[in-house]
Amino acid sequence: MDPHAPVEWISAQRLDLLAQNGLLYRPDQVLGPMARQRLRVGPAAYSLCGVTHTLATHTTLDAIAKIVTEPVMPWDALVCTSRAALSVVSAVLDHEADYLRWRTGLAAVPALPLLPVIPLGVHTADFDFSAPDREAARARFGLAASDVVALCAGRLSIGGKAHPYPTFRALQAVAVEGGQPLVLLMAGQAYNPTIAAAFEAEAAATCPDVRVIFVDGKDAASYRSVWGAADFFVSLADSIQETFGLTPLEAMAAGLPALVSDWNGYRDTVRDGIDGFRVPTWAPSPGGGEAIASDYESGLNSYEAYLYRANTAVAVDMKALIARLRELVASPDVRRRLGAAGQERARTTFDWSVVFRSYQSLWAEQSAIRRAAQTRADTKAWLGQAPRSGADHMGPFETFASYSTHHVTAATSVSLAFDLDVEAYKAIIARRAFPGWNVDPPIYETVRNAMRAGPSTVGDLSNAIRMPELPLLEVVVRLAKLGVLALGS
């Protein structure tokens, strides 16, 4: 996308360099910890940008809910990859806000980050196939010119992607009534051999009149060839784990019409009757899955069982599915028309070069909002009152301030108790009992030389050796631990 872009490594603790850059992008939806870390340089030091992926896990939903109470700012953004993802994020944030109103009695809810909808993308050039390429791909799988080839590609997961039964049953119905050789390329990877065997057994039981070829997704050459060998693409996603779905984009980039379920992000990518067909789906109304949620929360069901119980309660309209499948199998002209439209849409809308420009526009907008906020006196004053850390990382001597007898401050007196020469100091801290000692010999030597002039206070010592007071506190106590310095009130 930009081969000449400069690349610079920024260490995790150099938040000042992030502030110079102005934005931190992280490829997930966990903005809270990054927002708390940013407090150390100020909430308006830079913007944060994240992006949604699967939204089904309780840890993910919890991270999104905490956006309401984390120091996430209006100049931050959580990119939602589809309108479906946006609806989930919005529902979670609304629910958390309602909970906090009930729990705290406060009506106010802080300003939330931007929630733009920007799709995922595809490198469309990776899916260019010439006529000879397509012939070679079909030959690779022993396909005849008369074979009509459907393709299912992606993860082979019953609960986490799509239950295979509707696809197999619809293909069988069309194969029996059409009398035309029908082939299904089932390409991808299963989590384990048991799931792979389940797919193979279900295909044999449900669509015996369809030639089903399983293609190992780990074989890169074979997996790429399926896109050139197929006549159309099928993906009947029914899992709540899906929020976008990349494989329809890849199919469109390859010039294949996409037959997909009207589910999640597929609604944003496949235009019904233009790039392919979307088949209606049915699911219980809100509240109908309370038992499923309760069993998952209690630990009675695993995450996989939770997904399975949810997606087996989602139905694809079988009559509409068979009708659309029949149309794709029977008409090469329909396949060409839909495939060409989808390929053009993939190139102009979903190529990563196009999607990336949307991100760049978003980042510019975030920076503009952040800069404008800092020009307003009330906002600037409010930002200046922000704590310098979250409660989980205040620091050991704030959180555990009650543990010690005394506290070292700028007024604490300090004197040289034992004049340890530098070489002897080096020998001590080199021993295995002193890993990560953090008072380097040059610093020790500087403190030692200053203390030879006589007792001092920590504040005066800070001025004398030109070391900021806060890091000096740690140095002084570490040297007192060795008995080199003596501390007094």
pLDDT in tens, 267-279: 999 999 999 999 9
Burial 332-371, CB ≥16 within 10 A → b, else e: eebbeebbebbbebbbeebbeebbeeebeebbeebeebbe
pLDDT at 392: 85
Burial 207-223, CB ≥16 within 10 A → b, else e: beebbbbbbebeeeebb
pLDDT at 430 over 80: yes
Phi and psi at 486, nearest 5°, equal -115, 140
CB–CB of 169/318 below 8 Å? yes
pLDDT at 65: 95
pLDDT at 101: 92
pLDDT at 253: 97
pLDDT at 1 over 80: no
CB–CB of 322/173 below 8 Å? yes
The pLDDT of 215-230, averaged and rounded, is 95
The predicted-structure confidence for 288-299, as pLDDT tens digits, reads as follows 999 999 999 999
Percent of the chain at pLDDT > 90 equals 90
pLDDT at 454: 94
The pLDDT of 409-432, averaged and rounded, is 95
Residue 242: pLDDT band (50, 70, 90) is confident
pLDDT at 107: 82
User: Can you say whether residue 152 is alpha, beta or left, with left for phi > 0 and alpha for psi between -120 and 50 degrees?
Assistant: beta
- Residue where the block lists tokens 């007094």: 488
pLDDT at 133: 95
pLDDT at 109 over 80: no
The predicted-structure confidence for 21-75, as pLDDT tens digits, reads as follows 999 999 999 999 999 999 999 999 999 999 999 999 999 999 999 999 999 999 9
Residue 96: pLDDT band (50, 70, 90) is very high
Instruction: Look up residue 334 and give its amino acid.
Output: V
CATH 1.10.260.40 fits 124-350, yes or no: no
The pLDDT of 457-481, averaged and rounded, is 95
Lowest-confidence range among 21-35, 133-147, 355-369, 385-399? 385-399
The pLDDT of 82-102, averaged and rounded, is 94
The pLDDT of 9-14, averaged and rounded, is 90
The pLDDT of 70-87, averaged and rounded, is 96
What are the tokens at 237?
């996603």
pLDDT at 364: 97
The residues spanned by each domain of the chain are: 15-118+358-384, 124-350, 404-488
Mean pLDDT across the chain: 94
CB atoms near residue 458 (< 10 Å): 20
The pLDDT of 441-465, averaged and rounded, is 95
pLDDT at 395: 87
